[in-house]
């Protein structure tokens, strides 16, 4: 697994090994992986980053950082789940549209994403802001302009992630945000490289 679950394009290689080597009745661990997203207010903290001010200025690089659960202002929604036991012909090109319900009135400063992997029926690897920190941290997509949201507003978030043309391990990500609380659709372009 890579940042944002699919960064580094490692899943196709793991699935190829599964298809060649996994015996009938064998197990693949993790057996399932899900990617989540939510609205986030405030800044992020990453002790290893020197680019906090650059990201505030609207740099289009997604930020891998430790984010605080207290700054999540919407319900969290699953964007996708991959069943690693059965998926065929997987590519890192996906689209997802989710509705995020606002839990508390705040300024939306960006979107927070993380993944969860099912290791056993009772054990998960959780990289969310509410879990113990991992080296995967969370992926933060800062918006160029903050959006004032009220409790009970709903925003629609559309995410399109795809491998970069030149470097298939890196990602280009388009995020669209729309809703009654937003005067016009917001379209932001990001990369994870």
pLDDT, position 95 = 96
**N-terminal to C-terminal alpha carbon distance within the chain:** 15
179: nearest Cα among 103, 100, 107, 106: 100
pLDDT, position 183 = 87
Q: Which neighbouring-strand residues pair with 41?
A: none
pLDDT, position 44 = 63
Calpha distance 51→84 (Å, rounded):
35
Tokens of 16: 């190829």
Q: How confident is the prediction along the chain (193 residues), in pLDDT tens digits per residue?
A: 789 998 888 888 888 899 999 999 899 999 999 999 999 998 765 445 444 444 444 448 899 999 999 999 999 999 999 999 999 888 889 999 999 999 999 999 999 999 999 999 999 999 999 999 999 999 999 998 899 999 999 999 999 999 998 898 899 999 999 998 888 999 999 999 8
Place of tokens 């997987």: 90
**What ranges do the domains of the chain cover?**
11-17+27-192
Supply angle C-alpha 133, 136, 139, rounded to 5. 100
Distances (CA, A) of 187 to 52, 53, 142, 190: 22, 21, 12, 10
pLDDT, position 53 = 44
What single string gives the DSSP state of each residue in 116-182?
Answer: EEEEETTEEEE-STTSPP-TT-EEEEEEEEEEEE-TT-EEEEEEEEEE-SS-TTSEEEEEEEE-TTS
Calpha distance 75→66 (Å, rounded):
19
DSSP secondary structure letter of residue 45: B
Confirm or reject CATH 2.30.29.30 for domain 11-17+27-192, answering yes or no.
no
Q: Which backbone phi and psi does 63 adopt, to 5 degrees?
A: -110, 130
Q: Which neighbouring-strand residues pair with 2?
A: 5
């Amino acid at each position: 697994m890579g940042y944002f679950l699919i960064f580094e394009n490692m899943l196709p290689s793991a699935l190829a090994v599964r298809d060649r080597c996994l015996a009938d009745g064998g197990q693949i661990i993790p057996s399932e992986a899900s990617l989540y997203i939510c609205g986030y207010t405030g800044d992020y903290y990453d002790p290893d980053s020197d680019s906090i001010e650059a990201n505030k200025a609207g740099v289009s690089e997604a930020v891998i950082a430790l984010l605080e659960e207290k700054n999540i202002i919407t319900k969290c929604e699953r964007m996708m789940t991959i069943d690693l036991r059965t998926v065929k012909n997987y590519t890192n090109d996906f689209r997802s549209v989710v509705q995020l319900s606002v839990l508390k009135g705040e300024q939306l400063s960006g979107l927070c994403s993380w993944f969860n992997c099912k290791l056993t029926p009772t054990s998960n690897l959780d990289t969310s802001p509410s879990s113990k920190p991992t080296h995967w941290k969370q992926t933060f997509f800062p918006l160029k302009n903050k959006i004032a949201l009220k409790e009970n507003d709903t925003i629609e978030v559309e995410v399109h992630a795809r491998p970069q043309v030149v470097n298939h391990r890196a990602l280009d990500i388009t995020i669209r945000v729309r809703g009654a609380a937003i005067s016009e659709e917001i379209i932001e372009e990001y990369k994870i490289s």
